[in-house]
Amino acid sequence: MGRAYVYVILGGGVAAGYAALEFSRRGVGHGELCIISEESSVSLFTPITIYYLVERLGSLACGCMRRVIPTYLASTPLRKSRNTTTENPVVPYERPALSKGFLLPEAPTRLPSFHTCVGANEERLTLKWYNEHGIELVLGTRVKSVDVRRKTLLTSLGETISYKYLIIATGARALKLEEFGVSGPEAENVCYLRNVADATRLVEVMQSCPGGNAVIIGGGYIGMECAASMVINKMNVTMVYPEAHCMARLFTRKIANYYEDYYKSKGVKFIKGTVLSSFEKDSDGKVTSVVLRDGTKLLTDMVVVGIGIRPNTSLIEGQLTLEKGGIKVNGLMQSSNSSVYAVGDVATFPVKLFGETRRLEHVDSARKSAKHAVASLMAPNKTWDFDYLPFFYSRVFTLSWQFYGDNVGEVVHYGDFLGSTFGAYWVKNCYLVGSFLEGGTKEEYEAIAKATRLKPRIEDLAELERQGLDFAVSI
Ligand code: FAD
């Protein structure tokens, strides 16, 4: 006989944090909601470890243990990792910080400062907050299996937890080089970046070779943001990717040229149109050079791999309908089983604006889809289909861009590509469907978001180019 809850959130990332806040605002009862997450940070003594210990001792001493502490202690013994540091379970946090403030050499961002929901200027939900709101946390614990027919989850500790409603928020994992047939990535100076333990390790590796050479495999946002942070750390960075330009899934060549030129001015080297073939290692097993398929050999002190992600759907495969790599949900974020909802990176949901389903890997989508699922659950008669405007952003060096909508159809660039403010519109079948802006003000970003949502008819692309940002601002 295990524990039973009305609501269980499987996964403790961005979406889980925003769902928890929404549940509390809508008056979830104490003990009705449980979050199960396997995620841990790795360090010797962090404020949260100390907090846990103080809470534990304090609770034991006064004999009035609150529910979350025994839950945490029962399920989450502090464990020793292979590096003899300690794995500390973490409550939900704003994952994008890991490739930005977390990697900075001066005053880096550290937990607990970036727990959800500070990224949306909302409350910061610490362990204390969950405790006070009667939300049970089963942290540092992997869910091994889900039975949607019986409405149960089995944890790695052998505990069965049952639910009335389940929200799946398992996010995604970083793709590994092994999956592309490259051997040797287990070396300690090869880093990935998906969670706070990865980020901590990346910082440690970087600090072990100050001023050294770093090779970044992949030209997406993880690669670009890491490259910027590593340059700020005075590393010599070379980026390697197979595409013709960076951020190939979003940027046009013209936009990409701007960022690549900017990065080059900061010392970053680019090797494009080829991929990693193998590693050379020293007698300690450390990677000393990266060999590319075109034969180029790059001497290196460390490697960062950012080659994409795969949604964590394996627990429910064969039980729920999947589409486009994610769990297919309707406009209420409800899966093919009416008691199971899916949110964040793992959900494939209808994007009304495009008239088709999409699985998005963006923080804003995780936050808003999570809130929507909770609204659907707790106020079903007052909740309509999710009407989401896809939004993605990045910040590197002193640059900052935002993108709304879809990057399909014809593209119109505008602004000063030699200066600091420029952008692009995408127009499909004579309607504006997507907008990009670098270096905008808050009001200008709001204007491109609004224009994209309104989907205005565009008769004349040349006129749109002439008006540029004024087109969106005047709508
Ligand atoms: P996650 O935040 O990944 O959370 C999933 C959670 O589920 C994790 O805690 C995981 O441990 C847990 N879990 C998974 N399986 C199990 C299991 N079996 N048992 C228990 N727990 C489990 N997006 C942007 O729009 N802009 C950015 O600038 C940006 N920067 C980013 C930088 C980095 C370094 C990363 C990694 C991502 C970034 N993103 C960015 C993407 C954004 O962070 C994700 O879209 C968002 O985190 C998705 O939220 P989620 O809750 O769906 O998944």
What ipTM was assigned to the predicted interfaces of this complex? 0.99
- 94 CB within 6 A, ligand 1: no
Q: Which H or E run includes 72? A: helix 68-75
Structure tokens at 185: 């990535």
Give me ligand 1 centre to Cα 66, in Å: 29
Can you give the pLDDT at residue 40?
Answer: 85
In the three-class reduction of DSSP (H, G, I as helix; E, B as strand; rest coil), residue 20 is classed as helix
Per-residue pLDDT averaged across 265-288, rounded?
95
CB atoms within 10 A of CB 210: 11
Per-residue pLDDT of 71-87, as tens digits, reads 443 334 344 333 444 56
Give me ligand 1 centre to Cα 459, in Å: 40
Degrees to nearest 5, angle at CA 38 with 37 and 43: 120
- 218 CB within 6 A, ligand 1: no
Q: What is residue 295's DSSP assignment?
A: S
Q: Which residue has the higher pLDDT, 329 or 183?
A: 329
Can you give the pLDDT at residue 74?
Answer: 36
User: Which region among 64-68, 310-314, 333-337, 422-426 has the lowest average model confidence (pLDDT)?
Assistant: 64-68
CB 11 within 8 A of CB 168: yes
Residue type for 48, please?
Answer: I
Can you give the pLDDT at residue 59?
Answer: 37
- 38 CB within 6 A, ligand 1: yes
- For 324-333, b where at least 16 C-beta lie within 10 A, e where not — what string? eebbbbbbbb
Can you give the pLDDT at residue 93?
Answer: 98
Nearest CA to ligand 1 atom 22: 11
Can you give the pLDDT at residue 58?
Answer: 40
Give me ligand 1 centre to Cα 460, in Å: 40
Nearest CA to ligand 1 atom 3: 171
3-state SS, one letter per residue, for 369-428: HHHHHHHHHHCHHHCCCCCCCCEEEEEECCEEEEEEECCCCEEEEEECCCCCCEEEEEEE
Can you give the pLDDT at residue 172?
Answer: 98
Can you give the pLDDT at residue 42?
Answer: 66
Q: What is residue 93's DSSP assignment?
A: B
Q: What is residue 79's DSSP assignment?
A: E
Can you give the pLDDT at residue 383?
Answer: 87
How many Å is the maximal CA-CA distance in the chain?
A: 74
Q: Where are the beta strands (DSSP E) in 208-338?
A: 213-217, 236-241, 269-272, 276-281, 287-292, 297-299, 302-305, 309-311, 322-323, 326-328
Nearest CA to ligand 1 atom 11: 39
Average pLDDT, the chain: 91
Per-residue pLDDT averaged across 304-313, rounded?
97
CB atoms within 10 A of CB 92: 28
Per-residue pLDDT of 437-466, as tens digits, reads 999 999 999 999 999 999 999 999 999 999
pLDDT at residue 432 greater than cutoff 70: yes
Per-residue pLDDT averaged across 292-320, rounded?
96
Nearest CA to ligand 1 atom 2: 13
CA dist 164 to 56, 73, 338, 416, Å? 30, 25, 10, 55
Per-residue pLDDT averaged across 91-109, rounded?
97
Nearest CA to ligand 1 atom 39: 96
Band (pLDDT 50/70/90 cuts) for residue 368 is very high
- 193 CB within 6 A, ligand 1: yes
- 359 CB within 6 A, ligand 1: no
User: Which region among 77-81, 116-120, 164-168, 226-230 has the lowest average model confidence (pLDDT)?
Assistant: 77-81
Give me ligand 1 centre to Cα 149, in Å: 27
Nearest CA to ligand 1 atom 46: 363
Band (pLDDT 50/70/90 cuts) for residue 186 is confident
Residue 394 CA: which ligand 1 atom is closest?
28
Can you give the pLDDT at residue 180?
Answer: 87
CB 416 within 8 A of CB 442: no
Q: Provide, rounded to the nearest whole percent, the portion of the chain with pLDDT above 90.
A: 86
Per-residue pLDDT of 209-262, as tens digits, reads 999 999 999 999 999 999 999 999 999 999 999 999 999 999 999 999 999 999
**Alpha-carbon distance 292 to 180, whole Å?**
14
- 155 CB within 6 A, ligand 1: no
Pocket test for ligand 1, best of 159, 170, 249 (most atoms within 8 A of CB): 170
Residue 392 CA: which ligand 1 atom is closest?
25
Can you give the pLDDT at residue 119?
Answer: 97
Per-residue pLDDT of 386-412, as tens digits, reads 999 999 999 999 999 999 999 999 999
pLDDT at residue 50 greater than cutoff 70: no
Per-residue pLDDT averaged across 321-338, rounded?
98
CB 142 within 8 A of CB 39: no
- 393 CB within 6 A, ligand 1: yes
Can you give the pLDDT at residue 401?
Answer: 98
**Alpha-carbon distance 289 to 435, whole Å?**
40
Give me ligand 1 centre to Cα 249, in Å: 19
pLDDT at residue 17 greater than cutoff 70: yes
Can you give the pLDDT at residue 2?
Answer: 85
Nearest CA to ligand 1 atom 45: 362
Can you give the pLDDT at residue 259?
Answer: 98
- 372 CB within 6 A, ligand 1: no
pLDDT at residue 195 greater than cutoff 70: yes
CA dist 102 to 198, 306, 400, Å? 11, 17, 17
Residue 194 CA: which ligand 1 atom is closest?
36
Can you give the pLDDT at residue 348?
Answer: 98
